[in-house]
Each structure stands twice: as structure tokens, then as C-alpha cells.
Amino acid sequence: KGNESKDLSKAVEVMKRIHILLEKYQDLLEKPHLQKLTRYLRLLGFENLACSLSDQTGESSDHDISKYAIKVGPARFQLQHMDYCLLREERKDPDPRVQHFIPDTWQRELLDAVDKNESAVIVAPTSSGKTYASYYCMEKVLKTSNDGVVVYVAPTKALVNQVVGTIYSRFTKKLPDGLALCGVFTRDYRSDIMNSQILVTVPQCLEILMLSPRCQKWTKRIQYVIFDEVHCLGGEIGAEIWEHLLVTIRCPFLALSATVSNPEHLTEWLQSVKRYWQHADSRIKGHSSNSEKNFTRKCKVQEQKNSYRVRLVLYEERYNDLEKYVCSLKGSDFTIEHCHPCAALTVDHIENYGIPSDLSLSPRETIQLYDTMIKVWPAWPRAQELDPEEFVSFKNKIVIKKPDVRKYEQELKKELSKWIVLGQKQKVNLLLEHLKPKTVDCSENEKWKHFASFVDKLHEMDKLPAIFFIFDLDSVERAAMNVFLTLLEKQKSEQPLNTETEKEQLRDELRKVNKQLTKLNPQDTKKISPSKRENMVCLLNTKKQLERRLKRLTDIPSTCSYADPKAVDEDTLQKIFHRLRFERKGYLQQRMALRGIGYHHGSMNAKERQVVEMLFRMGYIKVVTATSTLALGINMPCKSVVFAEDSIFLDALHYRQMSGRAGRRGQDMIGNVFFYDIPLPKVERLIKSNVPQLKGQFPLTVTLVLRLMLLAAKADDEADARAKALSVLKHSLMSFRKERYAEILKIYFIYSLQFLVKEGYLDQKGNPIGFAGLVTHLNYHEPSNFVLVSFLVKGLFHKLCKPIKGKTVFSEDVLEKLVLILANLFGRKYLPACSMKYKQKFCQSKVFLEDLPKDFADAVNEYNAKVEENFAHFLLTTARLADMEQEYRLPLSKTDFRSKNWHGSELASYLIDNTKSISAISPFACLSGIVDNNLFHREIINEAVLRSLGINVNNCPLLYLNKYDNQGRKRPLNAYALDFYKHGSLLTLTTDNWLNEGEAYYALQDFSLLIKSIGTSLSELCDDPNDNVLRAFQQLGAIYEEKLKFV
């Protein structure tokens, strides 16, 4: 009441109800209702609002008003105290296509696109509801026919599993025998790929299907492709695969993302691809064969006319605001300070780049910015105009909505930028300094030592459930274990000293009672004597009492657990835990889950991850430590996101993906982002940095060119195959509207063809021959696939694979040497050079992989020499396409050295070797005496090549036998594949080989699959089923698979 309390929560609740009544039920309000609302506004001290509602003027005669009145203006009160409760602009008219909620305008646009068979690029914040269009699309295809296929492309296996679960919970359909509702295709699991209506897969696996000559008829059944997290197109690893898929699909698509900074450019590129397919489809239809027409007639999907339009659907407004906090450790306590987004800015940044468009403020932060502006510049000319009570969008407004606040925020940001133009840089500096939080650094050990206390602090602040992002895989598990052990210790400290003894005694008594009951339990209860029956009843009562007492002692106190027992009933919980019964760490994970703790990373078993995901979504688990596996698409919204570790991988893209998880729509009005002892400059950089633009990566490899040639040569529908191959070659995102890059790609294509012809993979007409099938089968292992074939061609494997005399099996020495060779080619995991110091301290593993046998190493060097020469000629040819203006400009400072003064420099002419050609060398590299001939040495290429070409040594299929660190020390290879073959122990790999258990298992699984793939390819190529090399690979594959089964 009035001044007796500073708690305004009751006033907030009253005002919330006034907002809801006036906004949602205004048509039902009559005069008496409005009079009551007017009175309540007067009681709160908002006389101007009361007058605007009742159309009356003058002050009230009620003398009791001051007892309830709030001492701030109505606009300030709404922004500062009701910030997260302010109403959003939401449509009120239902859409018959959507049953359970009223979609927003942008969501309706998506549904319209699907109804018209159009493609769409959707950029909307995490948890905004963009995925709903995907399921609407699936529903449409399922209802249309039994032939149509929807393909859902997810970047990770974890997301694949979640999408499959959602599909089975949403859809049911009776299909003819042999057809399935949903299929899955990942590297290590495949189910109903060709006979399902919805296929959920990862990009690498869909690329296999799209470029396979055998799958052409299936690809024509695809009606829609959904690309989730399409911003992966800009990644450094695997980006080209996303690109290949987007340019080879002929059907409409949906491309979803929350973090694309140049969506217009992406949409224009995709529209150009669709125009190509519009022209190609009309040409293909004209040349289609009768058999193709018959197939088309049978397939109802083809009757639907696809649109070639690509829509861009942009929605930038988050439903929940995000507030950031920086957390510092002071002694044994934590200081958690609010971090205003504008505190991340600097005058230089605003002057050069402006205020980032996605740097949004909550209403409370907007008021804070205004107050600080007044504080640093009391004579600010626009202070009165931009006062919340006087601002045009707020004045005398009873219901201030989020869009109104956004206008006010934009106005303040414009004014801040204007201060710099007016020469008030010093005041802007002072303002930003006022907003900056004060942090204290602590050591890494101290930080992790107090991690459990920090989690407890968040629990006290009611900021759970939370995801704690940690980039190191082992630290993820350790952090979760740390919290778990801390809760165990807390429980022990709160219990009487004799609790454990009492538990053991009760268990002993219970065992004795059960033993006696077993003896008394007869086959026929009717024959039992009355005394025995009485004894049995007595024992059963004793058993119940003992179980009750034991349960009381073993139950986890609520103070020692973060779990919410009301979230999941006991039966459901046990069913979920039942999934973990055969998992190595299943019991530990179950015990952690019972205390509301879990961890999540990509090296976990799928069932282990699913248990954590389910219990977290249900609200049972409240604390999850995770790597970036939860950043990509996984539906695990939470109240808070915590960045618990700094890392080079924590960049602007990851930050936005991860922080987007905070704030559960419908549950949390605001999301919280905590930086746990992350350096303040890094925090500022993350907040103000823009997400990198999608520019595309170099799209071609030599193996891809061979795959395209194989597709064109072997396909039944030649026109379709050629159209796909040409689309890949013509429509690189990197070369979109950049003719120079298009020319470079043409030259690279010719270079690849020459290499393939010289090495015997293509004949003079471009038809695949020899080991082309084996190389394309191992396409993700370039250049090791080419080196493997060079060993086969030279007969090195035939020389090695000699069976035991008089038998068809091979000795352990032969198989071990085979594993050594394959590990050097395909199992290349590098260890730090300093790890060699620990050479004598291992138990069972050898740890450091031996070099290739001499004859095999000589073959690699011979192969590398040929490749180096061919690639150097390619670089010399492409040099004429370099942008020399860019070449003479330093990459960071942009200092230009094109002036005549530079060319006449005595120092430069002295340093540059003018007696030799330097046409393909960077002008700055020339100063080190590097010339064109140095391009024939792979160590020099990256330093010497012209930067504007966008080419580096990774575009050359070279196999480096040795790798060195920046101090010139050789980095050893991890011998995990060979060590496991020898001792078969996964646990030893974790102790000796510095591998996480899950990481080791998946690496071994990949290695085992690789051996089987080589064996399968050789069996298709080899006419003699008794060939020694074929037998050796088949025997090794069977042994390796068997060893892996026992793990």
C-alpha cells in the first residue's frame, strides 16, 4: 500500500488485467465496467489515463488516492515494471488450416506458399514457429497421394531423431503393404529409404541419393524438400553439400533458418536456380521417352504443377525479449550484473558500422538507455520530446504494446547515432561507460570449482531450467558430474551420521524377510496351515514397513535436487529410464536425471541423448550441460542459456543460435542469457557482431566431378542427369553474379577432367572406367580414396595380402599391417606434438601410429609429385583471373600499394627476384623472393597464391604424410584404430589415447563401415571372388565388426 512497500507486483497485476480487458474484450465492456477501470487507474495515480478513458477532466476528490498511487508516470511504469508483460500485436482471426493456434501473418504467408507449391526461404527467430510450415507441408503430401515424398534435411543426427519422433506423434496413415510413413537415412542407420513418404536424413546422405544413377525414379517422386538450419550453407565444413542439394532438386523447397544475415542475396541465387530448372524441365519434357511418360502417368505426384517462384519470408521480432547478464566470481560469492546491449558498442563501431539491426532492447533496457542519456547530457535538446510520458506513441495511451516500444527504441538509437554526427563523441563514450558492467576475472580452476554453486545460485533466482553451453566434450560431462556430486555431498551433510548404517540394516532385514517369504510360499495356498498363514501375513506387513522406512531414507530431498517430480509421473519416468538399461553409463545418467541433471553431446548414444531431451522438454530435468549439438534445431527451449566456457568456436553465429534457446513461448515472458566468467571484450564482440554473410564455399572437388560424370554416363534418364550435373557446375553461390569466379570454376573442372583421364578414371570420351566406382563410393575421403587406388594399381596390396600357407585366411601380421595402412589413410586424428613426451606412460595402447611401410610411403610421394605438378599448372592458368586491385591491398588495414611510388621502391626491387616469372604469386609474397616455380611445392601454395582467386591447397587432392605445428614439431597420428584392433577395449582408448568414450566409439564405427565399403566396392569390381585382396578386406571387415559388437 502506497509508501509502505516498494513492491509494485500488485500494481503490475492490476494493470495487466486492465490491458487484457481493454485489448481483448473491449466489445463486451459496458459503461459500468469502464467506470470501474477508470477508478482503478485513478487509484494507481494515472489521472491522465483515467481521463482519456472516461473523457472527463479535472482531478478526483478521492482523498485516499495517494495511499495506492505509484510515484512514476504511466508510460514509464509500463516500460520499466511491465516490460515483459506488454502485449504483442497478434491476429485474432483464426485460419481454417491451423487447428491449435492462430497463426501470425508471416506464418500464413508460409502456408500460402505450400498451398501454391512454391519454394520459400524463411528467416525467423528460434522458437517463433517456423517449423510448423514443415509439418503442414508433410500433411498436405500425405493427404494428396501414397506416391509423393517429402524429404526433411537436418544438419545433425540428434535433430534427425527428434524430427522422426515428432512425425510419428503427429501423423498416422494406412498405407499399402511395402510402404512406410517415415524413413531414416544417416551414415550409421537406414530404414525405409525408398519406400517411405517422409524421409528424414542428413545432407551427405541425400546427396548420395540425388547423384546416384540408380535413384532417378525415386527423386522424381519428391514433392517437397525441407532444409532445416540452411545457414549451414555458410559453414567451412560440409557447406558445399548443402549447395549441391539446393541446385539439384527439381521440386519446391522450404529453407529454414534463424541466422541468415543476407537473405535477399540467398533468395535471388535460389530464384536463379529455379529459373534454370524451369527452362530445363520444359526442355526435358520435350525429349522425354515413352517409358518416362508412362511412369509420369502412374505417379499422381507429377500431375501437380510446381511453381518456380521462391518467396522470402522475413520475421525479425522475437516473442520473448532476451536479457543478458555477466557473472563474476568474487571470493566464494557471485556477482551477477545486467549487461545492457548498448554497452557492447563503441563510438568507432557506431560511426563505421552503425548500431546492429538485431541489437534489440527490452522495454526496461530502453528506459535505462533514456535515463543514462539524460544523465550524461542534462541539456540534451530532445530530452523533453523523447521523455516516455511525452513520446508520441505513449502519450495518454492506456495499453502500450511491444510495437510501440520498438518505435521508441529505434528513435533513441537514431538519436544516439546523431550525437556522434553532432560532435558529441565524448558524451557517447561516457554513456557507454555508464552502461558497462563491472566484472572481475578469476582463474579457470576457481571457475570450475565453484560451478555447482553457480548453478545453485541460478536455482535460487528461479532461472532454471537452463542449458549450459560448453565447447569441450569432456568438460560437458565433468561439469554435470560436478553438480551431481555436490548435491550428493549436500544430502549427506544434511542427514544424520548413522543414515548409511541404518539403510544397510534395513536392506539386510528386507533380504531376510524376502527369504522367509520365499520358503513359506506354497504352490497351493488352500493347503497352507492357519499358523503359517498368520506368519505370512505378519511377514508381509513387516516387509511393507521396512520398504516404507527404506524409501523415506533413500528419497531425494527437494533441497538436494533440481528435478521437478510433478512434471512426470512415476510410470512414464520408468519407461523413459528403461531405454538406458543396456547403455554403459545408463545407471549414472539415471541417477543424475533423478536429481534434475543431464548432459548432451554428439558422441553420446542416440538413446542417451533422447532421454535427456525428453525429460528436459517435459520439465523434469532442469540443468543440462551441452556442446553445440543443442544449438542446431533441437527443440529444447529453456528459461536461461549459460555460456560457461570461452572458445574459438563461440562466434556470432553460434552465440545467436544458442542464446535463441532462452525464453519458452507460452511459459517464459523473458529469456535470460548468462556469461559465466567469459571475458567482457568477448561478450561485447558477440553482442555487437553481425552474423557472417552467406557467400558460399568452393563447390567442386575432383571426386565430385567424377561423380557427376558417372551420373551422366550411367543414368537411365540422360536429360535429367545432365541437367543436374550442369546445375551443380553452373550455379555456385560463390560465383553468383561474379563472372570471374565462374571462369575459375570452369578451369578447375577442366583440371579435374585432365587429372581423372591421366589417372585412368575416365576414358577420352569422359566415360568412367577402372576404379571410378570405388573412388566415388569413398567420396568423403578425398584424397585418401585416390591414394588407395594407387596402391591397388601398383599391386602393393596383392604383395601384402598373402594367406597362410594351405589356407584361405590371413595371419594377424598381415591384417595388422592392413589396419596400419588404412589408419594412415582414413583414420587420421592428430595429437599435439607435446604428447610425445608421455610415450612411456600407456597401459595397453601404442597411441602413436607408425608411419606407412616404405613401399606404400614411396607410392604416396610419387602420387603427390604428380598432383603437385598438375595443380601448379592450374594455378598458373587461373592467375590471369585474379583481381589485382585486391591483391595490392592489405587484407585487414586495406592499405593500397598500387601507387607508382611502390613500383619504384628500391627496397621492393631488391627483394623481388625479377629474373623469374612471378605472374601467379601474391605481390606481398614476392617480397620474400617467392616465384612461380615455388607453386610446385605444396608447403608454399597457401602463402604464395593470389588471394582473390579463392583457391588454396585444400582444393588439391594431396595427402600429407606429416603435419607440423607452428613450432615446426611433427604432430603424431593417434593409433586408436590399430590399438582397438589389437586389444578391443574402448575403455583403454579413453585412458591411453585421449579420446572421449562416445567419440572413440563413433570413430571406430566409421572406420569399420569404411572397411566394409571398400570390401563391397572391390567385390563389385573383382571378377575373381577368391582374390586375396578382396578376401583380406572381407576378413578384416568381419573381425573389426565383431570386435565392435562386444564393446
The DSSP line for 32-73 is HHHHHHHHHHHHTT-HHHHHHHHT--S----TTHHHH--SS-
In residues, how long is the chain? 1047
The amino acid at residue 616 is: F
SS3 content of the chain, % helix, strand, coil (to 5): 55, 10, 35
| Nearest-angstrom CA–CA distance, 993 and 980 | 10
- 389: cell is 510520458
Q: How confident is the model at residue 631 (pLDDT cuts 50, 70, 90)?
A: confident
Q: What is the pLDDT of residues 161-188, one digit of tens each?
A: 889 999 999 999 999 988 999 999 998 8
* Mean pLDDT for the chain overall: 89
Segment 573-595 shows an average pLDDT of 93
Q: What is the pLDDT of residues 122-135, one digit of tens each?
A: 999 887 888 888 99
Distances in Å between the alpha carbon of 318 and those of 95, 104, 371? Answer: 22, 13, 25
Distances in Å between the alpha carbon of 885 and those of 482, 900, 912, 925, 947? Answer: 56, 14, 19, 16, 11
Domains and CATH numbers, the chain: 2-71 (no CATH), 105-314 (3.40.50.300), 341-435 (no CATH), 856-955 (no CATH)
Distances in Å between the alpha carbon of 616 and those of 495, 568, 600, 970, 1041? Answer: 29, 11, 11, 45, 34
- Measured from the Cβ of residue 809, the count of other Cβ atoms closer than 10 Å reads 11
Query: Does the pLDDT of residue 61 top 50, yes or no?
Result: no
- Rounded to 5°, the CA angle 248-253-254 comes to 135
**Which pLDDT score is estimated for 298?**
43
Contact (Cβ atoms closer than 8 angstroms) between residue 998 and residue 1004: no
**Which pLDDT score is estimated for 534?**
80
Q: How confident is the model at residue 1 (pLDDT cuts 50, 70, 90)?
A: very low
Q: How confident is the model at residue 823 (pLDDT cuts 50, 70, 90)?
A: very high
Q: How confident is the model at residue 297 (pLDDT cuts 50, 70, 90)?
A: very low
Q: How confident is the model at residue 87 (pLDDT cuts 50, 70, 90)?
A: confident
Query: Does the pLDDT of residue 62 top 60, yes or no?
Result: no
Which three-class secondary structure state does DSSP give residue 355?
A: coil
**Which pLDDT score is estimated for 266?**
96
Distances in Å between the alpha carbon of 76 and those of 141, 354, 982? Answer: 51, 27, 72
The DSSP H or E segment spanning 607 is: helix 606-618
The amino acid at residue 896 is: D
Query: Which strand ranges, in their side-by-side order, compose the sheet holding 321-330?
Result: 333-339, 321-330, 670-676, 640-643, 466-469, 623-626, 597-600
Segment 926-931 shows an average pLDDT of 84
| Nearest-angstrom CA–CA distance, 464 and 189 | 35
Least confident of 90-94, 286-290, 642-646, 751-755: 286-290
**Which pLDDT score is estimated for 91?**
84
**Which pLDDT score is estimated for 911?**
62
Q: How confident is the model at residue 841 (pLDDT cuts 50, 70, 90)?
A: low
| Nearest-angstrom CA–CA distance, 1002 and 608 | 14
- 532: cell is 503359517
Q: How confident is the model at residue 331 (pLDDT cuts 50, 70, 90)?
A: confident
**Which pLDDT score is estimated for 418?**
95
Of the candidates 1016, 988, 1014, the one whose C-alpha atom is nearest the C-alpha of residue 1001 is: 988
Segment 334-351 shows an average pLDDT of 93
**Which pLDDT score is estimated for 303?**
46
**Which pLDDT score is estimated for 460?**
94
Q: How confident is the model at residue 1008 (pLDDT cuts 50, 70, 90)?
A: very high
- Averaging pLDDT over each range in 283-287, 330-334, 447-451, which range is the top one? 447-451
Least confident of 126-130, 469-473, 723-727: 126-130
| Nearest-angstrom CA–CA distance, 661 and 475 | 21
Cell numbers 531414507 correspond to 553
| Nearest-angstrom CA–CA distance, 204 and 186 | 8
Segment 901-918 shows an average pLDDT of 64
Q: How confident is the model at residue 302 (pLDDT cuts 50, 70, 90)?
A: very low
Contact (Cβ atoms closer than 8 angstroms) between residue 623 and residue 594: no
- Measured from the Cβ of residue 469, the count of other Cβ atoms closer than 10 Å reads 28
Q: What is the pLDDT of residues 539-569, one digit of tens each?
A: 888 888 888 877 777 788 889 999 999 999 9
Scored b (16 or more CB within 10 A) or e, 880-889 reads: ebbeeeebbb
| Nearest-angstrom CA–CA distance, 102 and 966 | 58
**Which pLDDT score is estimated for 389?**
93
More confident position, 481 or 72? 481
Distances in Å between the alpha carbon of 70 and those of 5, 53, 84, 348? Answer: 11, 19, 19, 41
Q: What DSSP character marks residue 695?
A: -
Of the candidates 753, 744, 754, 749, the one whose C-alpha atom is nearest the C-alpha of residue 950 is: 744
| Nearest-angstrom CA–CA distance, 44 and 72 | 10
> Which residue pairs, CB below 8 angstroms and at least 24 apart, start in 86-94?
86/19, 86/363, 86/400, 86/401, 86/402, 86/405, 87/19, 87/20, 87/23, 87/399, 87/401, 87/402, 88/317, 88/319, 88/401, 88/402, 88/403, 89/401, 89/402, 89/403
Q: What is the pLDDT of residues 28-48, one digit of tens each?
A: 888 889 889 998 888 888 888
% of the chain exceeding 90 in pLDDT: 62
> Which residue pairs, CB below 8 angstroms and at least 24 apart, start in 373-378?
373/412, 373/415, 373/416, 373/431, 375/434, 376/427, 376/430, 376/431, 376/434, 377/419, 377/424, 377/427
Query: Does the pLDDT of residue 367 top 90, yes or no?
Result: yes
**Which pLDDT score is estimated for 793?**
96
Residue 848 bridge partners (DSSP): 974
**Which pLDDT score is estimated for 611?**
95
Contact (Cβ atoms closer than 8 angstroms) between residue 448 and residue 485: no
Helix spans in 495-605 (H) = 499-520, 530-554, 570-578, 586-594
Q: What is the bridge-based pairing of β-strands 180-185 and 321-330?
A: unpaired
The DSSP H or E segment spanning 150 is: strand 149-153
Of the candidates 930, 917, 911, the one whose C-alpha atom is nearest the C-alpha of residue 880 is: 917
| Nearest-angstrom CA–CA distance, 778 and 709 | 16
- Biggest CA-to-CA distance, the chain: 118
| Nearest-angstrom CA–CA distance, 759 and 774 | 14
| Nearest-angstrom CA–CA distance, 28 and 25 | 5
| Nearest-angstrom CA–CA distance, 737 and 766 | 29
Segment 105-112 shows an average pLDDT of 92
**Class of residue 744 by CB neighbours under 10 A (exposed 0-12, middle 13-18, buried 19+):** buried
Query: Does the pLDDT of residue 620 top 60, yes or no?
Result: yes
Q: What DSSP character marks residue 87?
A: P
Q: How confident is the model at residue 58 (pLDDT cuts 50, 70, 90)?
A: very low
Residues 6+ apart with CB under 8 A from 54: 34, 35, 38
- 1010: cell is 569404411
**Which pLDDT score is estimated for 290?**
46
| Nearest-angstrom CA–CA distance, 812 and 818 | 10
Q: How confident is the model at residue 4 (pLDDT cuts 50, 70, 90)?
A: very low
Segment 444-465 shows an average pLDDT of 93
| Nearest-angstrom CA–CA distance, 649 and 379 | 45
Segment 224-243 shows an average pLDDT of 91
Query: Does the pLDDT of residue 6 top 70, yes or no?
Result: no
Which three-class secondary structure state does DSSP give residue 786?
A: helix
Q: How many CA atoms lie within 13 A of 524 on its CB side?
A: 2
**Which pLDDT score is estimated for 59?**
45
More confident position, 897 or 328? 328
| Nearest-angstrom CA–CA distance, 155 and 231 | 10
Contact (Cβ atoms closer than 8 angstroms) between residue 302 and residue 220: yes
Contact (Cβ atoms closer than 8 angstroms) between residue 285 and residue 717: no
- Rounded to 5°, the CA angle 680-683-684 comes to 90
| Nearest-angstrom CA–CA distance, 50 and 566 | 43
| Nearest-angstrom CA–CA distance, 243 and 232 | 10
Query: Does the pLDDT of residue 747 top 70, yes or no?
Result: yes
